[in-house]
Amino acid sequence: MLGRVTVLVAATMLAACASGPTGSEILNVGLKPGSARLVIYRTNPVGLLIQPDFVVDGRKAGTAQPGAFVMCDLSPGKHSVSVSNIPIALPLSNAPDAITVTLRAGTTTYLRADPQMGIVAGTITLTHVADGQGRADVASLTRIETDCRGS
């Protein structure tokens, strides 16, 4: 019982570290003409200490914080998205930690970041989710600062 309480307190404290607007406040802000939006988010608090960077087109875009999301407005076209997991993590699943997405002008693409068990350490993997699911998942999450630049 004490272990569960400790985990709950730790999760609450770490979730409070992320400050910024929520998805419901910011996702309705329109895109610039000719732009596409990429949202990468993490809802699952499992593996609280595993918070690698998200990398979009070779540049750090933010961190995989539980209860938070990264939003990048980019040019339409193909973009590579990856998670900078520890190289020796050896995941126990075949879920990808790198993905290529094709963004279309005027649309939002959602990628969910999920913690996975690993042999040495845990990893974060990426899953493309449908617009409705992504929008619902991100509504109560907090936006974290990003270094995304349109390319």
pLDDT digits (tens, 9 = 90+) for 7-27: 444 444 444 455 678 887 777
Q: Find tokens 């913690």 and name the residue.
A: 115
Name which CATH class applies to 2-143: mainly beta
- Provide the edge-to-edge strand list for the sheet that holds 77-83: 59-63, 53-56, 77-83, 98-103
Quickly list DSSP for the chain: -HHHHHHHHHHHHHHHH--S-BHHHHTTSPPPTT-EEEEEEE---SSTT--PEEEETTEEEEE--TTEEEEEEE-SEEEEEEE---TT--BSS---SEEEEEE-TT-EEEEEEEEE-BSSS-EEEEEEE-HHHHHHHHTTSEE--------
- Per-residue confidence band for 145, with pLDDT thresholds at 50, 70 and 90: confident
Question: What's the pLDDT score for residue 116?
Answer: 87
pLDDT digits (tens, 9 = 90+) for 100-144: 999 999 999 999 999 988 777 788 999 999 999 999 999 999 998
Q: Is this model's pTM higher than 0.85 or not?
A: no
